[in-house]
Structure 1
Amino acid sequence: MRFTLRQLEVFLAVAQHNHLTRAAESLAMSQSAASSALRDIEQQFDVQLFDRHGKRLQLNEQGRLLLPKAESLLVQARELEQQLSRHSTIGNIKVGATLSIGNYLVVPLMASFMTDHPGTRVTLDVANTRTIVEELLDFQLDIGLIEGEINHPHLHIEPWMEDELAVFCHPHHPLAERQRQLQRQGQSLKPSDVIGQPWIVRESGSGTRQAFERAFHGWLPEMNIQLELQHTEAIKRAVEAELGLGCLSSITLRDAFERGRLVALHLPQLNMQRRLYLAMHRQKFKTAGIEAWLDLCRGYAKNVVTNQS
C-alpha cells in the first residue's frame, strides 16, 4: 500500500482546519511531520489536493472527491482497531434533527440511547431540513432526522414515521366558533374559509413549510402570509396573540390543544399527512453507534404504530 492511515489523518485534519499548523496541533504532531505526510501522499500519487493561499490551504476539487472515501476508510480502521482491542464501546454519534423532531421527539431517544449504552454521548444539532441536509453532505453529521422530502443522489433516505399537520387558531377566533356551529350541523370547515385569513408559518427551507405548501397547493397565490418564523414555539405564541392562523406538526401542538390554549381547525378536504425520514450520506460508514441509533429509531416508530392501533 502506497499511503498510510496517518497520511489520511493529516489530509482530513488539514481539510477541516484549512491550516497546516492547526491541523498538526489537532493531531498532536509537529508541523514539519504533518507537512511531510501531506507532501508525501501528494508526491506519491502525483496529485495536488489543496490550493495554497499563503498559510491557508483550501481543499480543491480533487481533494473534495477524496474526502468522503478517506473519512469512511479511517472510520472503518478505527472500528477495526476497537474490535481487535476487544473494546465494546458503541462510541459517540452526531445527530441532526429538524425543529419539530428535535424539540419534541429526539430528547427521549437520546436519553434511552445513553441509558442503554453508558459512557456514550449523542451530540444534537437542531435546524431546518435544508441546513441538516447540507451538514449531512458535508459529513458534519452522522445521521439526520428530517421532515422535508429530499431526493439527493448522495443521500440515503429511509421513511421513518407518519406525521400530520394541523391548522390552528386562538380559542376566541371567529373560525373556532364557526367550526363548532358547523359540527352541530354535521359539517366541517372548507379551505375557502381559511384561505383569506392572516397566516403565521415556518420559513422556506423547512419541512413543515414544504408540507404546508403541498397541502394548500392551488390556493397559495390567494393566501395572506403575514409572518414567517423559524421556531414552532414562536408561531404558537403568535397565534395565541391572535395574529392569525398557524399550521404545524400535530406533534408540537398536543399540549396546547389539551390545555385549550389553541384550537385545531379540521379541514378534511386537505391532505395534511406527511412522513418523517432518516437520512445518511451514502458513503458514511455505519459504525456500531450509528447502527444502534438506527435500531432505536426504528423500534420507536414501531411502538408508536402499535400504540395507535
Structure 2
Amino acid sequence: MRYSFRQLEVFLAAAHFQNITRAAESLAMSQSAASSALKELENQFDIQLFDRVGKRLQLNELGRLYRPKVEAVLAQATELEQAFSKHSEVGALKVGATLTIGNYLAVGVMAQYMNTPTHPKVSLEVANTRTIAQRVSDFELDIGLIEGELHASELEVLPWRDDELVIFCSPAHPLASKGTLTDDDLRQATWIMREQGSGTRQSFERGMHGLLSDLNILLELEHTEAIKRAVETNLGIGCLSRVVLEDAFKRGSLIELTAPEHRHFDRQFYFILHKQKYRSAGIDAWMELCRQL
C-alpha cells in the first residue's frame, strides 16, 4: 500500500484546521512530521490536495473530492481495530442535535447508548438546524438530529418521528380562558419566538403563512427555557414543541392555546447523514435507539 493511515489522518486534520501546525497538535505530532506526511502523500501520487496561501491550507477541488473517501476509509479502519481489540462494535459517536431534541430527547438516548460493557463515548453538540447541517456536511459530526426541513444535495435526510408545535401562554394572559383562537387573536398578540435559522421558527412560519408580516414579535431567543420563562412572566405568548411544554402544562404554569383550525403545526424530526460517510454500526445502533423512544 502506497499510503499510510497516518498520512490520511494528517490530510483530514489539515482539511479541518486549514493549518498544519494546528493539525499536528491535534494528532500529537511535530509540525515537521505532519508536513512531511502530507508532502509524501501528495508526492507518492503526484497530486496536490491543497492550495497554500501563507500558513493557510485550503482544500482544492481534488482535495474536496477525496475527503469523504478518506473519511470512510479511516472510519472502517477504526471499526476494524475495535473488533480486533475485542471491543464492542458500537463505538464512539459525534452527534449533533437541535435545541429541542438535544435538551429533551438526545440525553436519554446517550444514556442508553453508553450503557454497554465497553461504555462507548458520545459527544453531543446542540445548535440550530442550520449549524448542525453545516457540521454534518463538513464531516465534523457523524449524525445530526434536526427539527427543520432541509434540502442539501450532499446530505441524506431520513424521517424519525412526528412532532407538533403548540401555542401557549401564562395562566394570567387574556387569551388563557379563550377557546379556539382566531387569526385576529394571533395578529394582536405579542410573541416570544425562537431565532431565525431554527427548525422551530421554520415550522412556525409555515403554519403562520399569510400572517407573518402582521405579527408583533417582541423577543427572539435561542433557548426554549428562556422563551418559557418569558411567557410565564406574561411578556407574550409563544409557540414551541409539545415535547418542551408537557411538564409545564401538567404543572399549570403554562396554558395550551388552540390554534385556528386552518393553521397546522404538525412536523417531523429527521436524521441527517452525509451521503458519502461510512455508516458504522454505532450510527445504526444510535438510530435504532432513537426510533425506540
TM-score by length of 1: 0.88
Letter in 1 for 2:170: H
Q: 1:33 to 1:175 in 2, by over 3 A?
A: closer
Aligned residue pairs total 292
Q: Which runs of 5+ in 2 are unaligned?
A: none
* 2:287 corresponding residue in structure 1: 294
Say which SS state the counterpart of residue 114 (structure 2) adopts.
helix
Letter in 1 for 2:264: N
Indicate which of 234, 241, 266 corresponds to 1:249.
241
User: For residues 203-254 of structure 1, what are the alpha-carbon distances to aligned partners after superposition, in whole Å with 9 as ceiling and x for unaligned?
Assistant: 1100000000010101111111111111111111111121111000011111
* 2:108 corresponding residue in structure 1: 108
Shift of 1:146: 0.4
User: For residues 151-196 of structure 1, what are the alpha-carbon distances to aligned partners after superposition, in whole Å with 9 as ceiling and x for unaligned?
Assistant: 11111111111001100111111111233xxxxxxxx322222222
Indicate which of 267, 274, 284 corresponds to 1:274.
267
Shift of 1:133: 0.4
Cα distance between partner residues in 1 of 2:25 and 2:210: 57
Say which SS state the counterpart of residue 240 (structure 2) adopts.
strand
**Match status 1:208 vs 2:200:** yes
Q: Which runs of 5+ in 1 are unaligned?
A: 180-187, 301-309
Indicate which of 175, 189, 210 corresponds to 1:218.
210
Shift of 1:295: 1.4
Letter in 2 for 1:273: D
* 2:63 corresponding residue in structure 1: 63
Shift of 1:15: 2.1
CA RMSD in angstroms comes to: 1.8
Moved more, 130-139 or 2-11: 2-11
* 2:184 corresponding residue in structure 1: 192
* 2:278 corresponding residue in structure 1: 285
Cα distance between partner residues in 2 of 1:169 and 1:113: 36
Shift of 1:119: 1.9
Alpha carbons 2:87, 2:118 under 8 Å: kept: no
Cα distance between partner residues in 1 of 2:148 and 2:190: 24
* 1:185 corresponding residue in structure 2: none
Alpha carbons 1:191, 1:269 under 8 Å: kept: no
**Match status 1:148 vs 2:141:** no
Alpha carbons 1:202, 1:229 under 8 Å: kept: yes
TM-score by length of 2: 0.93
Cα distance between partner residues in 1 of 2:117 and 2:166: 36
**Match status 1:161 vs 2:161:** yes
Cα distance between partner residues in 1 of 2:250 and 2:28: 55
Cα distance between partner residues in 1 of 2:239 and 2:129: 17
Letter in 2 for 1:272: F
Cα distance between partner residues in 2 of 1:27 and 1:231: 35
Moved more, 94-103 or 84-93: 84-93
Cα distance between partner residues in 1 of 2:124 and 2:21: 29
Identity among equivalent pairs (%): 59
Q: 1:232 to 1:26 in 2, by over 3 A?
A: closer
Moved more, 155-164 or 168-177: 168-177
Moved more, 237-246 or 201-210: 237-246
Cα distance between partner residues in 1 of 2:56 and 2:32: 16
Cα distance between partner residues in 2 of 1:26 and 1:224: 48
* 2:257 corresponding residue in structure 1: 265
Q: 1:117 to 1:225 in 2, by over 3 A?
A: farther
* 1:7 corresponding residue in structure 2: 7
Shift of 1:16: 2.8
Moved more, 108-117 or 144-153: 108-117
Letter in 2 for 1:265: L
Alpha carbons 1:5, 1:74 under 8 Å: kept: yes
Question: Which of 1 and 2 has greater Rg?
Answer: 1
**Match status 1:177 vs 2:170:** no
Letter in 1 for 2:116: D
